[in-house]
Structure formats: C-alpha cells, structure tokens
Amino acid sequence: MDKLLERFLRYIAIDTMSDENSETCPSTEKQYNLLNLLKKELDEMGMKEVAIDENGYVYATLPANTDKKVPVIGFISHVDTSPDMSGENVKPQIHKDYNGEDIILDKANNIILATSLFPELKKLKGHTVITTDGSTLLGADDKAGIAEIMTAMDYLINHPEIKHGTVKVAFTPDEEIGRGVDKFNVKKFGAEYAYTMDGGSEGELEYENFNAAKLTVKIQGRNVHPGYAKDKMLNSMLIAMEYNQMLPVNMRPEFTKDYDGFFHLIKMEGTVENSTIVYIVRDHDREKFEAKKEMAKKVGDFLSERYGKDVVKVELVDQYYNMREKVEPVMHIVENAKKAMELAGVKPRVMPIRGGTDGSKLSYMGIPCPNIFAGGMNFHGRYEYVSLNTMQKAVEVIIKITEIYTK
C-alpha cells in the first residue's frame, strides 16, 4: 500500500478544481498540472501509446500478453475536483489503525468528523483513514481512482505472469461540472467496455444512474414605487417563491433516497424586476423523469395564466440519461466486476448511483461503462475521507477484472 499512498498524496497536492463558468477544455489550466504528470508517469512505468490530446484527455495502452482473443477493456478516472470547495493546499491527515471514534479535523475551529453524523466510519475501524484538516476538500473524488488505476497498471507491468488482454486507460478533465467526456475520443480510446473508478465505499458497483435535466425558471416582474404599487407591482421574487412552493415538498433531495427522484433548488437570485431560480431534476425511471419535467412546465404555465403570458419562462435542458439501458444488453461486464470483487475478498453491493458519472455518457457514446468503488466518502466538502485499505481492494479488483476477461 506504500506506493498507492505515495501516489494518492502526490495527486491530491495538485489543485485541479474545475470551473463551470469557463468555456475552455479543460475548464481550468491548472488541471494540466496533474494531466501532464500522469502522462509522464505512464511513460515512465512502460505503458504504450501514451498521449495527451488538445483537450487535455490522457490516454494509454497496456498491450495484451496473451494470444487469446480477449475484449479490449478500459479504466477511467477524472482529475478535476469539485468547485463546491477549495482543493488548494490540501493538508491530509493520516489516521493509521483508526479506532472507530470521532476524528478531530481542526480542534481550534471545532471541526469534527463525527460518527454520529457519519456512522459508516465505524466500519473502517483498523483501517488507515485519510482525512482533510477541515479547511479544504480531500480530492479522493477522483484522485483515489487515479491512484488505483496507476497502481494496478504498474503491478500488471511488473507481473507478466498475470495474463490479460489489451487494457486501455484514460484520465479526463471537468467531470465535476458535467463535461467530463464531452470531448472524449472514443475511437482513440479503443475499448469495447470500460469501468469508471469513481464510486464510494467498498463493494459499490453501479450501472444505474439518474436521468438528469437542468431547470431554469426566469420571472419578469414589474417594479413600481411601493407607495403607489397597488394593482401595479409584480414582485418577481415572490412569484419565484410561489413557483418553488408549487413543486412537491416530498420531491426534495432531503426527503428522498434509493430510487426516488427529486427537484433540487441549486441557485436563486433576484430583484423585484427580475428573478431566476435554477434546479436540477433527477429520476432513475425515464417515465417519472419525463413526468417531473412536464410538472415543471405546468407550474410555469399556471403562473403565466395568473400573472401574464410573458411573466414566467421555463427552460429545460437534458444533461444525461440512465446508463442501465446500455449496460443491460451486456450484463457480463457487471457480472465480471462482481466476480472480481469476490476474488478480492470484497462483497459486491449493486446499487443505483444517486448522481451522474462519466460512465453514463460513455455508455451512450458506445462504451458500456459501469462504476466501481474507489474508497472515498463525503465528497465535495471538508468532511471528505478515504480508506487506504479500500483503495488497495480497488486495485485488486482492477487486476482481477483484467484476469477474468482472459478466462
């Protein structure tokens, strides 16, 4: 695990936050600091066809060492970290032989990773747990996945007795802002099937994700001096509040789990004259997803009838779809991942992703791509942590998958 830890610490030391307001790819120049390092390390370890393209995507190949006809498989992780919290100057804390109790991240500011809030921590008793110091996110999403893929490839190169087919590797920018594979070169990658190493706790295996849309509601009000506003003023902020109140309360994220979908209010800004509210709309079931979008339109139509034709405008943009539709015809890729986990001493836990993944878009681009655990939890914030022991298991799962395809 020493090499794995060294790699992980090296990668999280590099700030790679993406920026949704940027139109470049990668969205931030600093992502190249890690992308170029990975290219260099892939070259040095002996991977072939190592390249970084004009959009910052890194590709590499581990040639087959068997004469058997074996499907070409791939492993993918993203280099960027979430804009939700700073990833600059990360100060990791390493807790060896973790005792299963609360972890004090920052005593002075009373920032505590509490087992009462995060009871899953107790399952990691005896593990080496890596946390933040409470001032940044950690970056395990998805630098844990990167470290695992790099370690697995290094191991396979140095253990030629393990037979495998051609293995492809790719590292992508901008996953956290929903553009992770927008410019992914499927032909250059050349894999028939792939796995993203971007999941959470040990055993997670996911081939279902949300159908996703962005909902933007723009309200045009009418500002009049409040002393003379009777029967004249339209306060766009109040209409925005009314719109929000008309969406079902039980369809908010804080009241949903498992396969439940939701409307999640992520942004609101306004004045009396103009207001904008933005939601993300999510559901695993395509019919329920379409019904939610239709509900959003009907609420807008109702308010337009009440206040005027051009007062409320609803804009919906689909973002991605449930990969299940593309994975089910080739379910052997899920079964192989389950077998690999069992061989690595991991109990598989097949579950839906309550979010998105690069694998979703890749599946619709022609590469069916389930998601495998990488060991991190509490992503995008100061309470993020990862188990080094779980990361080691993820490395073993990658290796076992490559072996299984040769059987």
Q: Mind listing the pLDDT tens digit for each residue in 222-279?
A: 999 999 999 999 999 999 999 999 999 999 999 999 999 999 999 999 999 999 999 9
> H or E element: which one contains 341?
helix 332-343
- Amino acid at position 61, single letter: T
Q: How far apart are CA 251 and CA 257, in angstroms?
A: 10
The per-residue pLDDT for range 137-196, each reduced to its tens digit, is: 999 999 999 999 999 999 999 999 999 999 999 999 999 998 999 999 999 999 999 999
* Residue corresponding to tokens 């066809």: 49
Clarify whether 175 is annotated catalytic. Answer: yes
Residue tagged active-site, from 175, 192, 204, 206: 175
- Residue 197: the pLDDT is 97
Contacts 24+ apart (CB under 8 A), 119-122: 120/201, 120/377, 121/385
Mean pLDDT score, 76-95: 97
Active-site annotation holds for 204? no
| Sheet-wide strand order for 385-387 | 93-95, 129-131, 385-387, 376-377
Token reading at 315:
């804009």
CA 35/CA 24 separation, integer angstroms:
15
- Distance in angstroms (rounded) separating the CA atoms of residues 316 and 293: 7
Calpha distance 198→203 (Å, rounded): 12
pTM, rounded to two decimals: 0.88
Q: What is the mean pLDDT of the chain?
A: 96
Instruction: Retrieve residue 300's tokens.
Output: 């807008």
- Residues sharing a CB contact under 8 Å with residue 356, sequence separation 6 or more, in sequence order: 178, 209, 210, 212, 319, 320
Cβ-defined contacts of 231-237 (< 8 Å, 24+): 233/272, 234/307, 234/308, 234/311, 235/272, 236/270, 236/271, 236/272, 236/273, 236/274, 236/275, 237/270, 237/271, 237/272, 237/275
The confidence band for 355, taking pLDDT boundaries of 50, 70 and 90, is: confident
Stretch (H or E) spanning 193 = strand 193-199
Question: Among residues 80, 142, 148, 202, which one is catalytic?
Answer: 80
Query: What's the mean pLDDT in 322-332?
Result: 96
Instruction: For 21-31, write each residue's pLDDT tens digit.
Output: 999 999 999 99
Domain 2-208+322-404 sits in CATH at 3.40.630.10
Query: Which residues partner with 62 through β-bridges?
Result: 167
Taking domain 211-317, whether its CATH number is 3.30.70.360 is answered by yes
Question: Is residue 262 within 8 Å of residue 256, measured between CB atoms?
Answer: yes
The Cα 68–Cα 164 span in angstroms is 9
- Say which range, 224-238, 347-361, 367-381, has the weakest mean pLDDT: 347-361
364 — pLDDT class (breaks 50, 70, 90): very high
Give the residues across from 196 on adjacent strands: 76, 371
Q: Which of 34-43, 99-108, 348-357, 360-369 comes out lowest in average pLDDT?
A: 348-357
Q: Pick the closest to residue 206 from 318, 97, 341, 404 (CA basis).
A: 341
Per-residue model confidence (pLDDT) at position 178: 85
d(CA 219, CA 249): 21
For residue 168, the one-letter residue type is: K
List, for residues 98-132, the tens digit of each pLDDT value. Answer: 999 999 999 999 999 999 999 999 999 999 999 99
| Number of residues that this document lists for the chain | 407
Average pLDDT over residues 49-71: 97
* Long-range pairs, 349-354, Cβ under 8 A, ≥24: 349/203, 349/204, 349/205, 350/205, 350/206, 350/207, 351/204, 351/205, 351/206, 352/206, 352/208, 352/209, 352/258, 352/259, 352/284, 353/199, 353/206, 353/208, 353/209, 353/210, 354/210, 354/257, 354/258, 354/282
Task: Classify 219 as helix, strand or coil.
Answer: strand
The Cα 110–Cα 132 span in angstroms is 14
Cβ(265)–Cβ(249) below 8 Å: no
The structural domains of the chain, with segments of one domain joined by +, span 2-208+322-404, 211-317
Residue 356 reports pLDDT greater than 90: no
Domains 2-208+322-404 and 211-317 share a fold: no
Are 207 and 113 spatial neighbours (Cβ–Cβ below 8 Å)? no
